[in-house]
Structure 1
């Protein structure tokens, strides 16, 4: 039996190089986007997109595209649809690389109190610089390792990373300090909420990977999800961004290959296959004692899925939005 070729084994695209013009735009327009930009003592560029800075939805859209390694579009659509006024639209012609090779928040970064000289630190890193370090098992499965002379990483944190974390990033990415940009996006902020909801397509790609679908057969993807207002409460903010995808996310994947595999993917993907489906994420999280790993993994998926097979011309549909759950949680009548 021959070993399948990893889906990105022959990919020559650099997510860090492709993201670089977007990073330059973010820095050039920082004042307009309500961002604060500084060089930390190491020389790394730190972009505050919602800790002390006000940030903005527009910044979140651009950060979403940076996270996708310059291989995706993230747009805001206004106008009431399904009972909600603001929706994100996400699309990529390179969804496996954009979503799993770049956007996925898979790089675990932690430091103890002793290492920081104060509070312990933890964050999941997402974005192009993950592929420079390629520390995650996922990169071996994808067959992808980026090479670039500058990198950018997004951290969902409410304080700047300590020096020990920055030193680790520079070492693992093989970069000089002045070539590293870190974008800080607390989920309680406008930019943070936006860039997390912009992961609606990535959530579908990750679920497809978990289901064992051949990623090399996924050739395109688009998605939409409602954009809620951020909550000042961290758990509620995380709950809203998750709920936006789990109950309001609609994904269309374009695939090749066997019809039965495509149909099976459509059937298995939606979040309603989870035993935890039907309650807000914040309530579920509270009920499991805030232990993320006690939540049924099948829940982390879009609400509604369409899978179109280019080889047969057939399309399958499964799942449905639950906007009633979202509006009950997010909307207050005047």
Structure 2
């Protein structure tokens, strides 16, 4: 028997809570005739930290907590996110992971959030097919893009989620915005989960996750924003997990988990992006937290791999 989730239900509750404070949060909304609500978190508005936390928790399907702390890089003290997740498979991989490529006419965005569970096109969703969401219920999707979807595109997205238009929400924030920067740093636990999946580790053995990641300074254009936000995770993020498995299962993959396991490690992401001229040509082993710590509940042992690279962070954020 499958496991029924309530990721969209949780997310809709957070969205409605957020909308009650939209002026305070510096966000805006657009109601389309068919009942779809598009929420702008940083295209024509400035957004803010609280809005960024809401966007991040909505991406997690309401099954994670996002807060803020400080983070020191040389003589700079900057903000960082703290993320805690007690259901990492469901919250991170079945909701937060930006795995839905949305293309319609000249519109392109990567979709994350619980609405992905209703589309069910991605391999990760199919792999864990015993998990499911109720159809014909309100849904939420979060888009990383600098372009607001028009009504036709919004209808297409909602149709793909096989959900009624009424009470469905599309949240949008560009990478270079404050909300965008926050919600990407808040993927620190998810990034490690994705790497574990790439290494063929059974994600059901990951019981909990916690992470800290610096929030990259906002950028004046999209490419620089992509570079800085990726550097924050790859060179500044720490993910801590609780596993329940045999120690040998951890030892087998430990050194392959952090970003330093990649041949492309050691250069700013914008440099790599310009070299390859294609995001998907960059070594996939790079997309991981800088540092990973694992506590195995079965043995009580603690494992660590990777390191923080403040030189790259300084070059990326402050030069």
Normalising by the residue count of structure 1, what TM-score does the alignment of the two structures yield?
0.91
1:222-233 to structure 2, matched below 5 A, reads: 222-233=210-221
Q: What does residue range 176-187 of structure 1 map to in structure 2 within 5 Å?
A: 176-187=164-175
Which aligned runs of 4 or more in structure 1 are off by greater than 4 angstroms? none
Q: Any conservation in 1 of the 2:144–2:180 contact (CA below 8 Å)?
A: yes
- Structure 1: 5+ residue stretches without partners: 1-8, 113-119
The match for 1:280 among 268, 277, 292 is: 268
Change (3 A) 1:40 1:103: same
In the other structure, the counterpart of 1:116 is none
Within 1, Cα distance between the matches of 2:83 and 2:203?
19
Return the offset for 1:10. Answer: 4.1
Partner of 1:234: 222
SS of the residue corresponding to residue 192 of structure 1 reads helix
Tell me which residue corresponds to 2:298.
Answer: 311
Task: Say if 2:231 and 2:316, in contact at 8 Å, map to a contact too.
Answer: no
Indicate how the Cα distance of structure 1 residues 24 and 150 shifts in structure 2: closer, same or farther if over 3 A, else same: same
In structure 2, the residue matched to 1:158 is: 146
- Equivalent pairs counted in the alignment come to 316
Instruction: Give the Cα separation in 2 of the matches to 1:277 and 1:178.
Output: 45
Query: Contact between 1:38 and 1:45, CA under 8 Å: does it hold in 2?
Result: yes
Residue pair 2:175, 2:225 contacting (<8 A) in 1 also:
yes
**Range 137-146 or range 249-258, more displaced:** 137-146
Q: What's the secondary structure of 1:176's corresponding residue?
A: coil
Residues 1:125 and 2:117 are matched in the alignment: no
Is 1:292 the counterpart of 2:279 in the alignment? yes
Question: Which residue number in structure 1 is paired with residue 196 of structure 2?
Answer: 208
Q: Which residue of 2 aligns with 1:24?
A: 16
- In structure 1, the partner of 2:85 is 92
Return closer, same or farther for 1:79/1:209 CA change in 2, 3 Å cut-off.
closer
What is the DSSP-based 3-state SS (H/G/I as helix, E as strand, rest coil) of the residue aligned with 2:43?
coil
8 Å CA contact 2:35, 2:165 repeated in 1: yes
Q: In the alignment, which residue of structure 2 is the partner of 1:6?
A: none
Q: Tell me, yes or no, if structure 1 residue 41 matches structure 2 residue 29.
A: no
Whole-angstrom distance in 2 between the partners of 1:29 and 1:331: 33
Q: Deviations over 1:184-218 (max 9, x none)?
A: 10111111111111111110000100000011111
Q: Secondary structure at the match of 2:166?
A: helix
What's the offset of the Cα at 1:79? 6.0
Taking structure 2 as the reference length, the TM-score comes to 0.95
Partner of 2:162: 174
Provide the C-alpha distance between the structure 1 equivalents of 2:291 and 2:204, rounded to a whole number of angstroms: 22
Structure 1 partner of 2:246: 258
- SS of corresponding position for 1:235: helix
Give the Cα–Cα distance (whole angstroms) in 1 for the partners of residues 13 and 233 of structure 2: 28
Q: Which residue in 2 is equivalent to 1:72?
A: 64
**2:311, 2:77 → 1: CA distance?**
10
- Contact 1:90/1:224 (<8 A) preserved: yes
Q: Is the 8 A contact 1:271 1:277 kept in 2?
A: yes
Q: Would you say the 8 A contact 2:73–2:310 is kept in 1?
A: no
SS state at 1:276 partner? coil
Comparing 235-244 with 140-149, which one deviates more in the overlay?
Answer: 140-149
Residue 190, structure 1, aligned to residue 182, structure 2:
no
CA RMSD of aligned residues (A): 1.5
Q: Secondary structure at the match of 2:25?
A: coil
- Is residue 233–residue 290 contact of structure 2 (8 Å, CA) maintained in 1? yes
> Relative to 1, partners in 2 of residues 1:276 and 1:81: Cα closer, same or farther, differing over 3 Å?
closer
CA shift, 1:81, in A, is 6.6
